[in-house]
Amino acid sequence: MSLSDQPPERAALTAREAECMRLAALGLTTAETSRQLSVAERTVEFHLSNAMRKLGAPNKIRAVVLAVQQKLIIL
């Protein structure tokens, strides 16, 4: 197996990043997630942005798909 044939490395999300991603996957808005977690909306955006960067996703929807595929979040 050559280096290019190897599956991509699994991203490591923090517990808070994974929780924000899970709630996004369930359809919660940033405002709803912030209320549920008792944090500012900006904090939720920060965690989602970090998760998107780690997953190499251009948007939140793609990040959710990748997180589910990689079993980083369970719905």
Quick: pLDDT tens for 6-23: 445 667 999 999 999 999
pLDDT tens per residue across span 10-66:
679 999 999 999 999 999 999 999 999 999 999 999 999 999 999 999 999 999 999
Question: Is there a contact between 65 and 27 (Cβ–Cβ < 8 Å)?
Answer: no
Residue 28 CA, distance from chain mean position = 13
The DSSP code sequence of 48-73 is: HHHHHHHHT-SSHHHHHHHHHHTTSS
Contact present, 12 and 50 (Cβ < 8 Å): no
**Global pTM?**
0.84
- What the chain holds in terms of domains, given with CATH numbers, is 14-69 (1.10.10.10)
Taking each helix axis from N to C end, the angle separating 60-69 and 41-55, rounded to the nearest 10 degrees, works out to 60
